[in-house]
Amino acid sequence: GQQLNQSPQSMFIQEGEDVSMNCTSSSIFNTWLWYKQDPGEGPVLLIALYKAGELTSNGRLTAQFGITRKDSFLNISASIPSDVGIYFCAVGGGGADGLTFGKGTHLIIQP
């Protein structure tokens, strides 16, 4: 099946720092998505990417769809306490097929 390699697995940072995480795959995908999940809640869509090379921002978040269509990264600038959570990359097969998720990056902000 499809496999996504998401890294890092966890990040311990100070408030105000910038964060970067990425996902890679051995297969080509036409859509890359980034979700955030808070404890006990469902994932919330942050950014959707549909074109190779596309760079998209959502507030302090920026994500890029790799030119090879096999990778994507997510950056968070000037982190704040509410950024704590688990960030998942996900890819879709197109149409109604469900999403395949990476294993997640657990972001922890140290006081």
Report the interface residues with other proteins, using CB under 8 A: 31, 33, 35, 40-45, 48, 88, 92-104
CA 80, 40, 12, 109 torsion-angle sign: positive
Nearer to other proteins, 89 or 109 (CB): 89
Contact 85, 43 (CB under 8 A): no
DSSP state of 82: G
Minimum gap (Å) between residue 29 Cβ and other proteins: 9
Minimum gap (Å) between residue 28 Cβ and other proteins: 14
Nearer to other proteins, 17 or 50 (CB): 50
CA pair distance 46, 84, nearest whole angstrom: 14
Neighbour count for residue 35 (Cβ, 10 Å): 22
Nearer to other proteins, 13 or 99 (CB): 99
